[in-house]
C-alpha cells in the first residue's frame, strides 16, 4: 500500500502545480539543413494550459489515494 500513498502524493503535488502554474511553455529546436559548418535550425515554441477541473481532479484523487493507503496500512 506504500505505492498508493506515493502515487497519491504525486497527484496532490501535480494538482497544486496545476493551480499555481496553469500555463507553461515548451520549446524544441530541430536541424533543418546542414552544409559544412553552417546549420539551419528551426525553433518551435508551444504554449500549454492546464484546465482547473483537471487540477481539481488530480488533487482530489491524490487525497483519496493517500487516505486509502493510510487506512489500509492501519487495518493490516
Give the pLDDT of residue 75: 81
- Judge if pTM exceeds 0.85: no
State which residues form the domain around 35: 2-75
**By the 8 A CB rule, do 30 and 42 touch?**
yes
pLDDT string in tens for the chain (76-residue length): 689 999 999 999 999 999 999 999 999 999 999 998 999 999 999 999 999 999 999 999 999 999 999 888 778 6
Give the pLDDT of residue 58: 95
Q: Which grid cell sits at 44?
A: 518551435
**By the 8 A CB rule, do 68 and 7 touch?**
no
Domain count, the chain: 1
Amino acid at each position: 500500500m506504500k505505492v498508493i500513498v506515493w502515487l497519491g502524493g504525486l497527484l496532490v503535488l501535480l494538482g497544486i502545480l496545476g493551480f499555481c502554474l496553469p500555463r507553461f511553455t515548451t520549446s524544441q529546436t530541430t536541424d533543418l539543413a546542414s552544409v559544412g559548418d553552417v546549420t539551419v535550425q528551426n525553433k518551435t515554441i508551444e504554449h500549454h494550459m492546464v484546465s482547473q477541473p483537471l487540477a481539481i481532479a488530480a488533487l482530489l484523487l491524490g487525497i483519496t489515494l493517500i487516505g486509502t493507503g493510510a487506512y489500509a496500512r492501519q487495518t493490516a
